[in-house]
Structures are given as structure tokens and as C-alpha cells.
Amino acid sequence: MSAKEMQAVPPKRLAEKVCAAVTFQIRRAPRESEILSWENSLPALANDLVKTGLGDVEVLVECKLPGNNRRVDVILCGVMPGSGGDSFVVVELKQWTEVSAIVDDPINVDVTGVPGRKRKHPVHQVREYCRQLLEQVSAIERSPGCLRGVVYLHNASRVHVDDLYGGSHPTHGLVFSQSERDAFLRFLRSRLTPDPGSVSADRLLNSRVRPGRAATALNATQIARRRQFRLLAEQQEAFQLALRTVEESRQDDHKRIVVVTGGPGSGKSVIALELLGEFTRLGYGVRHATGSYAFTENIKKTVCGGRENVSFRDLFGYFSGFGDARRNDLDVLICDEAHRIRERSDT
């Protein structure tokens, strides 16, 4: 919905609407802390947008990233000043009022008043979100300059969150507190016009999802370098069958399933990893999915020898991350340990 439409909804009702949508998406009720954050943060952002003349900018709330369960607080969608092209701003909203750096730990921060206190540095969160969007969403990959990322601490004075600014990033991790509210609004006006953003939002949501060219080349090289399995006759037969089937599916746009059976230790996961490498080298949009965190971590260690690249991890996910995938988002999904697939999963 647009910022103007959000502003017209009472905060509690707005949080309820977001809660219902997220519950449907993730198949479980969100935490109470999440609901309270929507009730407090979303109206503050909507009011700022309307006040600065950007009431028709489209606001995507709790936008799920492709291929995993991570959700972006907000993506603002609209028109770029000057060029008239699409413009997208990832916004990480924080209600924090006081934050301190942690010595020798640049990835996390100490948040006063938060249970457990230690939280991931929001700039790192925003940069990861932007990286994944740049690499996997074609509408953004084709025009990387259309994307920016910010952290907005709408309750905080700069003096109490100053430690966050040392980690800021000029394009994908700017930090704004309440003290810089005017600067935040100027930034938004530099990236968005008052024109409606619904068309840009539709383009983003309907954009084809696939690995970026740079990540594909890197992943293919890494997998090829780590190639260490020699397929036996029956394994080779299953491997070739899968390659043929995917090519047939691509040509006639008809979905197919290849099921590889065998007892424990028969080499099914070896076939899965060889297929992952081959499909990546051939340029297919491919992911490897399991239903087990421990199993997935072991698989990643096997493939990359413990030296995991940031972009490499996105090749591996969980069954629950693909339940609402759109048609043709991926060319191939390799489901390892498929007996773990279940109708409902909160993994």
C-alpha cells in the first residue's frame, strides 16, 4: 500500500493487517515484539513520507527475500528523480534509543533495554539485504544504481547511537536517527519523486529471481575447484537423467520431478552436489535445499572446505524457504534428504 494509505489506518489496525499477512506467509504467528515494532515504526515512517510529499510512494512491508526466510522491514518503491526509472530504498527500522559498540565484534552491537542486549549491527543487515537483491532480482541487477539501503532509528538521538555511524555504508547502509530526520527526508526526496510507486513495486515483485552473473561465475568456479566425487555407474545414470529432464522442462515450460532413491550411504547427496555444480556451470538458476540445519552446514563444509564465501551461502537453503516461490523463480530446486519435506514447516 502507499504511505498515504498506511497513514490513514490506525497504528494498531495496521499492525494487525501486517501480522495477518506475515502469519499467512511464514505459517506461524509472529512474535509479540515484532507486532509492537510494526505498531510503532510503520506509522512513524508513513508520517515522514507523507510530510515530505511522498505519500504515493509504495511501501512493501516485511518483504521476503528470494530463496530464504529473511524478511526486509520495508522497501520503498517509486520513481527516480531526473531519470524517471525505478527507485528502491531498503529501510531497516529500529526503535532502539541507545546503542554501544562491542569491542572486537564489528558485526554486533549492545542495545540498551533489549533482552539479551546483543543484536546484529543493522548496517550489516541492510548490506546483506541489498547484496542479495542486487545479485538475484533481475529488475535490480540490470540497474544497480536504483537501489539504496538505510537504517532509520526514529526514536533515537544521535548522541545515544553514535557508535552505529562508524559502520555506515555510503550506498547500502546509511544511518539516520531522529536527530537527522530532516536529512533523512532530504535523502528520500533525492531518491523518490511524489509520483505513485505502484508500478515500480509491481516490477520488483514480479521480477525474475535468479543468481547474479558475478555470483554464478564465482560459485561455479568454487564448486568446480572442490569437485571431489567420482560417480559410479548408477549414480552417473541418475545424474544424466536429471540433466536431460531439466533441459526438456526448460524447452517446453512444463515442470518435472526426478526422484533418486537408495538406502543410507548409497550416494544420493553426492549426486545432488554434482548436479548443483553442473547446473551452476551451465547458468541455470539452481538451489540446494534440505530440511535440516545440521545437514546443510555439513554439506556446505564438504563443498567449500570451511572457507565459505558470502555469495556462496545463498546456493543452500531449506524446504520452508521455497513454499511460496513463484512460477519460474528457479530453474532447478535440488531437494536433498527429501523424506524430511512436510506440509508445514517453521524451520
3-state secondary structure of 49: helix
d(CA 204, CA 201): 5
Q: How is domain 3-205 classified at the CATH fold level?
A: Trna Endonuclease; Chain: A, domain 1 (3.40.1350)
pLDDT average, residue stretch 302-323: 68
Better pLDDT: 291 or 42: 42
- Sheet strands side by side (includes 58-64): 58-64, 71-79, 86-94, 147-153, 172-177
DSSP states along 229-250: ----HHHHHHHHHHHHHHHHHH
Query: What DSSP character marks residue 137?
Result: B
pLDDT at 13 over 60: yes
pLDDT at 235 over 90: no
Confidence of residue 232 (pLDDT cuts 50, 70, 90): confident
- Dihedral over Cα of 296, 302, 307, 309: its sign: negative
3-state secondary structure of 135: helix
pLDDT score of 311: 55
Q: How far is CA 32 from the centre of its chain?
A: 22
- Dihedral over Cα of 266, 268, 274, 275: its sign: positive
- The one-letter amino acid code at 126 reads V
pLDDT score of 67: 60
* 88 close to 81: Cβ distance less than 8 angstroms: no
* 4 close to 55: Cβ distance less than 8 angstroms: yes
pLDDT score of 223: 55
pLDDT score of 19: 94
* 225 close to 86: Cβ distance less than 8 angstroms: no
Query: pLDDT digits over 146-189, tens only?
Result: 999 999 999 999 999 999 998 889 999 999 999 999 999 999 99
Taking the C-alpha atoms of 100, 103, 108 and 110 in order, what is their torsion angle to the nearest 10 degrees?
A: -30
The burial class, CB within 10 Å (0-12 / 13-18 / 19+), for 53 is: middle
Please give the grid coordinates belonging to residue 50: 507523507
pLDDT at 106 over 50: yes
Which residue in this structure is represented by grid cell 542479495? 132
Please give the grid coordinates belonging to residue 100: 554501544
Which of 82-91, 139-148, 279-288 holds the top average pLDDT? Answer: 82-91
Q: Using alpha carbons, select from 301, 314, 346 the residue that is nearest to residue 66.
A: 314
Q: What is the mean pLDDT of the chain?
A: 85
* 149 close to 90: Cβ distance less than 8 angstroms: yes
Please give the grid coordinates belonging to residue 165: 555511524
- The one-letter amino acid code at 86 reads D
pLDDT average, residue stretch 220-224: 51
Measured CA to CA in angstroms, residue 256 lies from 67, 113, 167, 236, 288 at distances of: 20, 52, 46, 19, 17
pLDDT score of 207: 83
CATH 3.40.1350.10 occupies which residues in the chain?
A: 3-205
Query: pLDDT digits over 175-184, tens only?
Result: 999 999 999 9
Question: What whole-number percentage of the chain has pLDDT above 70?
Answer: 87
pTM: 0.70
Q: How far is CA 35 from the centre of its chain?
A: 20
Q: How far is CA 47 from the centre of its chain?
A: 26
pLDDT average, residue stretch 193-208: 92
Cross-strand pairs, 79: 86
pLDDT score of 343: 64
pLDDT score of 308: 53
pLDDT average, residue stretch 44-50: 96
pLDDT at 215 over 50: no
